[in-house]
Structure 1
Amino acid sequence: MLKKCLIVMALAIAVSSCKKDSDVELQNEQKLSMDAELRASLPGNLNQMGANGAPLKVCVDKFTNSRPIILGEDDDDVSGRGVAVRGTKWPNGKTLRVYFINGGQIVRDNVMKFARRWANHANLHFVVTQNKAESDIRVGFKVNGDWGHWSWIGTDANEHKGEQTMNFGDLDRNSSDYDYGYYVLHEFGHAIGLGHEHLSPLANINWDKPAVYQYYMGPPNNWTRAQVNSNIFDKYKPREVRNTAYDTNSIMHYWIPNEFTTDNFSVDENAYLSDKDKIFIKRIYPG
């Protein structure tokens, strides 16, 4: 009798396992189908996918209440390119302590490896801490199902003690180095005080606004019209930032397909620090 019960239980477990595997396969097939439909629905080159096969995503601005201030007297002669949001610079030479809310060790190690590429050109240091209370930057991966990529800018993180200050929506242990470069360098650029390059006061992009609204107000972003305005069109005011010449190669620049502009202007997606990024951040945090 006991043997018969064990056989029945084993069969039940096997059936349950097969059902779960089938459900997962079905969900994956449905996801691929949805991705294909999404790609097909986008006009022209807008159906291009990111390096990991997911729909291209962009970082969302986190709004700051910092009072704009000048970074310092020695910063007036910055010769590199870039945009640094005033009032959000960390003390020069600071060691920034990074706390991970979740994520496996491989993912954490990869994030730190790419974050430290900024430290190769700036007088800053990044270390991991297990103490959330003492941390400066608090990183999460898809926390509460958040697929977005974002970071508070520089010292604005101090206004959110104990809270998450950075999110990566689709990085995992299988993500490529290109994906890590694309997302981590950009978000840690924000974390050390840099704003979006396409919002530079010196950027004169001739946007095709209806096309931009159509794209970003649809999936996967689903932004409101106001969010499109703030993230794409509303340039920083000169008094809000420290900036020099506009750099389309900056890691802090959005990807712009030519369908988004009226004069065929475009900016390719990028996963590397530009030469001007390196020069600019060294001037902001001199060693």
Structure 2
Amino acid sequence: MELESLPDEVVAEIEVRDRWRRANAADGLEFLVTDIGRWPLGQTVRVAFLDGSDQLHADIAGATEQITDACNLTLDFGQNGGTFRRWTTADTVLAAEIRVSFDLPGFFSLVGTDSTDSAIGAGGGPVGGNPGQRSLNLGRFATNRPSQWEGTARHEFLHALGFHHSHQNMRGTCEGEFRWEDDIGYVPTQDPAGVFVPDAQGRRPGIYTYLAGEPNKWPRAKVDHNLRTVDAPDLVAGPFDTKSVMLYRFPSFFYKSTPSSCAPTGNGQTLSDGDKRGLDLLYPHAVDAVADRQARAGAVLASLGAGPEGVPGANGGGLAEVYRSRVEELAAAQAAGVH
């Protein structure tokens, strides 16, 4: 089983950025960091494709309609007749906020507005927030589309709109349900493909050992980044939802119990009611929801120490200015009668 994962250098850049945010966080700042990662309310977010056929592009656009039907955001694929917007690795100006490719191995996406953060991937490389870099990849879709491709596409596009993996939700049970370590006495055993398997006595590898083998070859730190629950501002948006398309379907030996409370109960294809509620929370249609977000934003801004003229106090720093822009955006959306 190969898990989705951003390139190591991109993960390192994101972790440095996120550690800075957390170090400057005040009480209640989870709303700030969530807002930093989301697109402005009602925005039209452009999508472009590097490769793949027009039919594949049309199918991907169709799969995302479940997402945009549930929130106040538009995904614009630049459709003109039977063709769709494209981008190239030689671009010097952003052709789109979300830049899709099908040519790299695996499935992954930058989260939310990281897709246009020029600091991510600034050293070069195929993935990042700059014009000639991929922000979302659906590997093999152009040549060998998986049977449940719609769910995979929705999963990655939810990342692109600000969602994280459900198994990392601090309100869930996955941290305690995962078999992180090997069975006692396990003798490391690999099959011909390099995958760790049970030993001659049936003792099983733990998650750390299993993912260190083929095809992932992850060190422990990368396992932690992708699977461990983190009580951090940028990871939780709502209650744990076993029907979410953002919850991985892991092999049974990943869990301590069967059936596991961490295992998905949805079909992995369609958005759950919880996914839709999360979308409506981040990108609300209703004016009263926008007003509530504005009130919460103002409260957090005050906690950062911003004065009446918006001058950030000692505990706010530049974060207060970032957040003020979000407050002003929400106020403008309310005045315009967002619905």
Superposition TM-score tier, normalisation by shorter sequence = 0.5 to 0.7
CA contact 2:169–2:236 (8 Å) conserved in 1 = no
**Could you give the per-residue CA deviations for residues 15-74 of structure 1, whole angstroms, max 9, x where no partner exists?**
xxxxxxxxxxxxxxxxxxxxxxxxxxxxxxxxxxxxxxxxx44322564325365447xx
**Could you give the per-residue CA deviations for residues 226-276 of structure 1, whole angstroms, max 9, x where no partner exists?**
21121112x232433442221111111111233112223152471221111
CA contact 2:34–2:233 (8 Å) conserved in 1 = no
Residue of 65, 68, 84 corresponding to 1:119: 68
Aligned pairs, how many?
A: 216
Deviation of 1:173 after TM superposition, in Å, equals 6.2
Are 1:256 and 2:201 an aligned pair? Answer: no
Q: Measure the CA separation in 2 of the matches of 1:194 and 1:123.
A: 15
- Aligned residue for 1:272? 270
Q: How does 1:111-260 map to 2 (within 5 A)?
A: 111-129=60-78, 130=85, 132=87, 133-142=94-103, 146-159=104-117, 160-162=129-131, 163-172=133-142, 175=145, 178-205=147-174, 206-210=177-181, 211-233=206-228, 235-260=229-254
Q: Look at both structures and tell me which one has the larger radius of gyration over its CA atoms.
A: 1
Q: Measure the CA separation in 2 of the matches of 1:271 and 1:125.
A: 21
Residue type at the aligned position of 1:156: D
Q: Measure the CA separation in 2 of the matches of 1:179 and 1:202.
A: 27
CA contact 1:86–1:240 (8 Å) conserved in 2 = no
Residue of 36, 48, 60 corresponding to 2:5: 60
Q: SS of the residue aligned with 1:138?
A: strand
Structure 1, unmatched stretches of 5+, are 1-55, 73-83
Give the share of equivalent positions with the same residue, in percent.
Answer: 25
Q: SS of the residue aligned with 1:209?
A: coil
Deviation of 1:203 after TM superposition, in Å, equals 1.9
- Aligned residue for 1:99? 48
- Higher relative contact order, structure no. (Cα contacts within 8 Å, ≥ 6 residues apart): 1
- Aligned residue for 1:77? none
Deviation of 1:200 after TM superposition, in Å, equals 0.8
Distance 1:228-1:174 versus aligned 2 partners, 3 A rule: closer
Distance 1:85-1:271 versus aligned 2 partners, 3 A rule: farther
Distance 1:221-1:96 versus aligned 2 partners, 3 A rule: same
**TM-score, with length taken from structure 2:** 0.58
Residue type at the aligned position of 2:277: I
Q: Measure the CA separation in 1 of the matches of 2:217 and 2:224.
A: 13
Q: Measure the CA separation in 2 of the matches of 1:219 and 1:135.
A: 34
Q: SS of the residue aligned with 1:240?
A: coil
Q: Measure the CA separation in 2 of the matches of 1:70 and 1:93.
A: 22
Deviation of 1:153 after TM superposition, in Å, equals 0.4
Deviation of 1:104 after TM superposition, in Å, equals 1.2
**TM-score, with length taken from structure 1:** 0.68
Q: Which has the higher helix share?
A: 1
RMSD: 2.3
Residue type at the aligned position of 2:165: H
Structure 2, unmatched stretches of 5+, are 23-28, 79-84, 88-93, 118-128, 182-205, 286-339
Deviation of 1:217 after TM superposition, in Å, equals 2.1
Q: Measure the CA separation in 1 of the matches of 2:280 and 2:143.
A: 31
CA contact 2:31–2:233 (8 Å) conserved in 1 = no
